[in-house]
Structure 1
Amino acid sequence: MTFDPVSLGLLAAVLLFAGLCAGVLAGLLGVGGGIVIVPVLFHLFGVVGVDGDVKMHLAVGTSLASIIPTSISSIRSHLKRDAVDKDLLKRWAWAVALGVVVGTILAGVVRGAVLTGVFATVALAVAVHMAFTTENLRLSDHPPTGWLKNLIAGFIGMFSSMMGIGGGTLTVPTLVLCNYPIRRAVATSSALGLIIAVPGAIGFVIGGLRAEDLPPFSLGYVSLLGLLLVAPTSMLTAPLGARMAHTINPRMLRRAFALFLGITSARMFYGLLT
């Protein structure tokens, strides 16, 4: 697979822009940027002729790899404001990591259309919840504990790794439904994003080592070209998003979260139907 200079330049420009947007969203919404990176990469890989059987895997794997530096940058900004709940992070970390391992294994054996469907369905469900449920809706007075906490954290890790996202897409609404402040949920989910991204990215590298029809500059299911262009720009703008998260009205933050999820879901469903 080859790229002419014009196509390569356009691809690079779009990737840089995606990285800038992803960084802001990582800090603002605690989503690790994957909510932007995955659909952008998915469609870009299709435009440049990447085989349909691998382009979703490649988008997810590249997104997870790019989330690693973005999450680190976002975490540092939130820690300066003492916004990360370290106790909750310790209680959820191992179950989330275990879910990531399961999700990565599943992603390695299913077709790309399955990953696309998972991404679109989960994103739509969360978008509807954030857009149409009242801010005062609560299912519990506190975050889950015991086996229920482990089950929820495990599912968050599993679906996040299959979607190529940092976990905030699922962690933030889950915690908010349990009477947890949204800004603290955003900050803590940024830290969970790192726990998801590291083993997830490693798993997609290993899972794609023998894959065929990968584009140039790929390491397994991770596009090194995409990583090199997206990661630096997303790290640059993640602190800006983190600062915005502490100044924007929570209602506006909730609506912004739903809007981005809804757009992402629609784009992925469109990709499945065409």
Structure 2
Amino acid sequence: MEWIFLLVLGLVAAILGSIMGLGGGILIVPALMVLSGYAAILEGITPQVAVGTSLVVMIFTGLSSTLAYVKHKKVDIKSGLLFFAGSGPGALFGVWLNKDINVSVFLIIFGAFIILVSFILMVRKYVKPIRLAKKGGVRRSYINSEGELVEYGYQPAVGIAIAFVVGMCSGLFGIGGGSLMVPAMLLLFGFPAHIAVATSMFLVFLSALVSSVTHISLGNVDWLYAAALIPGAWFGGIIGAKINRRLKGDTVVNLLRLMLVIIGIRLIYQGITGL
């Protein structure tokens, strides 16, 4: 039964992660940590193993989602590669921070981080883009489904700096990093929502690739857990990309926000009480 649950977990996490550009690790890591106290096969799982295993799974979620989005020309590959100049080193720094972290501290910090992400998702639609590249910087244009020309842009130094923080969170928490990068692209750079999500999944793939290689070298990956999660993650990434093209996603965002708050509170409680 536990193996079936892991398969379904990978599928659901990848679908939601692909729809929102979050990657899915933000659901997989807390699920593994919470279930470690209840499921026999997950008993005693450490934060390091949860993060390392999640990042290996994120490679497949990110790749399948990216390929699906590329087919429909939604990925800003040049911007994604530029952001990776920051997220790559950031991911390695995050792995270094993760290696000696205390379990209780990890749970409390990660729970607070998840609640912060839910708040970001709540306010992002009500804040107009700052558009940091009004003068100079990188400029891009995109014709949306209504035939309207949408312009967006950013200062490379600012984009790389933000991506470094995103990469650090990826390596530290085992998430794709899109929970920070998507709001940044929407609010700071004026990216169209579909382009932001698709480009974020491309960045998730690259960051997870770098982070997971380091975690593998440190022995932080449980390959049995990964094998159970990866099939669902691969197909979930494809399904999520298809859903993203058809829905505005308001209902999904609201459900995801609620779920993140519940998970965040549960992890903080577990970190404080040990239960």
Give the TM-score normalised by the residue count of structure 2.
0.84
> 1:76-91 maps to which residues of 2 (within 5 A)?
76-91=67-82
| Distance in 1 between residues matched to 2:64 and 2:12, nearest whole Å | 14
| Distance in 2 between residues matched to 1:199 and 1:33, nearest whole Å | 17
What amino acid does structure 1 have at the position aligned with 2:19? L
Unaligned runs of at least 5 residues, structure 2: 134-152
| Distance in 1 between residues matched to 2:201 and 2:157, nearest whole Å | 23
- After TM superposition, give the deviation of residue 239 of structure 1 in Å: 1.1
2:54 maps to what in 1? 63
| Distance in 2 between residues matched to 1:197 and 1:114, nearest whole Å | 23
What amino acid does structure 1 have at the position aligned with 2:121? M
What amino acid does structure 1 have at the position aligned with 2:55? L
1:233 maps to what in 2? 232
| Distance in 2 between residues matched to 1:245 and 1:23, nearest whole Å | 12
- SS of the equivalent of 2:75 reads coil
Whether the aligned pair in 2 keeps the contact of 1:26 and 1:71 (CA below 8 Å) is no
2:214 maps to what in 1? 203
Whether the aligned pair in 2 keeps the contact of 1:126 and 1:173 (CA below 8 Å) is no
What amino acid does structure 1 have at the position aligned with 2:67? R
2:242 maps to what in 1? 243
Whether the aligned pair in 1 keeps the contact of 2:167 and 2:207 (CA below 8 Å) is yes
- Give a deviation string over 1:22-55, Cα, whole Å, max 9, x none: 221232112221122111111222323733xx52
What amino acid does structure 2 have at the position aligned with 1:78? Y
Aligned residue among 54, 65, 68 for 1:74: 65
Does the C-alpha gap of structure 1 residues 137 and 264 become closer, same or farther in structure 2, counting only changes over 3 Å?
Answer: farther
- After TM superposition, give the deviation of residue 144 of structure 1 in Å: 3.9
2:147 maps to what in 1? none
1:115 maps to what in 2? 106
> 1:1-274 maps to which residues of 2 (within 5 A)?
10-47=1-38, 48=40, 50-51=43-44, 55-132=46-123, 134-140=125-131, 142=133, 143-178=153-188, 179-207=190-218, 220-252=219-251, 254-274=253-273
- Give a deviation string over 1:82-124, Cα, whole Å, max 9, x none: 0001121121111110100111111112223333233222221
Does the C-alpha gap of structure 1 residues 114 and 206 become closer, same or farther in structure 2, counting only changes over 3 Å?
Answer: farther
- After TM superposition, give the deviation of residue 257 of structure 1 in Å: 4.5
What amino acid does structure 1 have at the position aligned with 2:43? V
Unaligned runs of at least 5 residues, structure 1: 1-9, 208-219
Alignment RMSD, CA only?
2.0
- After TM superposition, give the deviation of residue 78 of structure 1 in Å: 0.5
- Give a deviation string over 1:109-149, Cα, whole Å, max 9, x none: 22233332332222211211222454343333555424322
Whether the aligned pair in 2 keeps the contact of 1:35 and 1:260 (CA below 8 Å) is no
- Give a deviation string over 1:56-103, Cα, whole Å, max 9, x none: 221111100111112111111111110001121121111110100111
What amino acid does structure 2 have at the position aligned with 1:264? I
- After TM superposition, give the deviation of residue 260 of structure 1 in Å: 3.8
Give the TM-score normalised by the residue count of structure 1.
0.84
- Give a deviation string over 1:201-222, Cα, whole Å, max 9, x none: 1222223xxxxxxxxxxxx221
Whether the aligned pair in 1 keeps the contact of 2:124 and 2:183 (CA below 8 Å) is no
1:215 maps to what in 2? none
| Distance in 2 between residues matched to 1:36 and 1:192, nearest whole Å | 18
